[in-house]
Amino acid sequence: MDIGVIGVNHKSADLNFREKLAKNFQRNEVRNFLHSFAKVILFTCNRFEVYFHSPNLTRAHSSLLHDFTQEFNLTSSYKLYSYFGKDCFFHLSKVTSGIDSAVLAETEIQGQVKKAYLDAQDRCNKELHFLFQKSLKIGKKMRQELKIGSDIPNLISTTLDVIQEKVKGKKLLFIGASETNYKIIKRLKVNNFQISLSNRTDAKGALMADELGIDYLNWKSLNYWNGFDGIICATNCPYYLLTGKDKILKPKLILDLSVPRDVDPKIGQHDLVQLFNIDQMNKMVRKNRKLELPHISALSQKVYSQVCTQHNIFINKDAKLESLQVI
């Protein structure tokens, strides 16, 4: 299979590095550095990966690595990892299975991979179609073997716990009409708080606020964030939304669940502010789970076995088609 992946994740790069990568990617709408490759781009809070196809993987990878570092102004290309052929297939299957996640067996990644693939279908060839379809299938099967119930702590439930424990008042502001914020608000005990939502696209934000039965704060009024007791940010904005120019007059909790970050880290230095970023929240989730999977190595082997089976099917089918074309 003439496929490869180049990227970074929470294990190979810290939040600052991933944030820089994400900001540059979001600002570069043309992305000319990828023009010659069939590709799928997987971009989440914990990883940034480019899956690509080329008949000459060595040359393609060298070109892509060069353009990647130049386009994103990276001086630390050693933080990037690469896999090819069956190893690339194995890597993506571990990703879809949740084995490679910041929080073991987290469920969101399956949907994120599927969305990345669906968004890029017109740029995929048969190798990439096969890679993503089979990796998603393997991931689904392995998740069933993990048998992790819905009561296991995750980012949403941990965020709810932190809000209940640390917010000293009743006024909450959610910034971003994202799926993450939607899930948090949906499960929050609304009667215990006065909840407002703000979003860069007012129409979308107002619609979500109306559905959830909460107040909507016009985006132009976001500078009133200092009046809230708790602020939860989950957007894809490439710049800081909260910069700390205003005086902090009362205690507040700020949860920044975004990459790039929505909140200037300097705000966290204020005595009245408790600020947690996405990596700190994931660390809490892992601690809350206390989930040990001694069979994780065996599960990884099962993933590899499935990958080998599907890889052989693809190679044999491809070889058969080539022989028929020769005949």
**Do residue 92 and residue 184 come from a single domain?**
no
**% of the chain beyond a pLDDT of 90:** 53
Task: Compute how many other C-beta atoms are within 10 angstroms of the C-beta atom of residue 31.
Answer: 13
pLDDT at 295: 62
In a domain, 215, yes or no: yes
- Mind giving me the DSSP string for 203-230? HHHHHHHHHHT-EE--GGGGGGGGG-SE
pLDDT at 159: 95
In a domain, 109, yes or no: yes
**Do residue 232 and residue 201 come from a single domain?**
yes
CATH number for the domain spanning 185: value is 3.40.50.720
**Do residue 76 and residue 22 come from a single domain?**
yes
CA dist 218 to 51, 184, 201, 209, Å?
39, 20, 9, 11
Mean pLDDT of all residues in 182-193: 87
In a domain, 112, yes or no: yes
Mean pLDDT of all residues in 95-110: 84
Q: How many domains does the chain have?
A: 2
What is the domain extent for residue 259? 155-287
pLDDT at 78: 67
**Do residue 159 and residue 243 come from a single domain?**
yes
**Do residue 223 and residue 142 come from a single domain?**
no
Q: What is the dihedral of CA 158, 161, 167, 170, to 10 degrees?
A: 110
Mean pLDDT of all residues in the chain? 86
In a domain, 302, yes or no: no
**Do residue 15 and residue 139 come from a single domain?**
yes
The residues carrying an active-site annotation are 45
In a domain, 300, yes or no: no
**Which residues, 6 or more positions from 10, have their beta carbon under 8 angstroms from its beta carbon?**
18, 46, 47, 102, 279, 282
In a domain, 304, yes or no: no
Per-residue confidence band for 211, with pLDDT thresholds at 50, 70 and 90: very high
**Do residue 20 and residue 124 come from a single domain?**
yes
Cβ(114)–Cβ(136) below 8 Å: yes
Residue 50 has pLDDT above 70, yes or no: yes
In a domain, 180, yes or no: yes
- CA gap 268, 276 in Å, rounded: 8
Nearest by Cα to 163 from 198, 183, 141, 188: 188
In a domain, 82, yes or no: yes
**Do residue 127 and residue 186 come from a single domain?**
no
**Do residue 100 and residue 11 come from a single domain?**
yes
Mean pLDDT of all residues in 305-312: 94
**Do residue 145 and residue 165 come from a single domain?**
no
**Do residue 73 and residue 133 come from a single domain?**
yes
Q: Of all helices (H) and strands (E), which one includes residue 198?
A: strand 194-198
CATH number for the domain spanning 75: value is 3.30.460.30
What pTM value is reported for the model? 0.85
- The position carrying tokens 């559905």 is 211
Q: Which residue has the higher pLDDT, 145 or 12?
A: 12
pLDDT tens-place string over residues 219-232? 999 989 999 999 99
**Do residue 101 and residue 197 come from a single domain?**
no
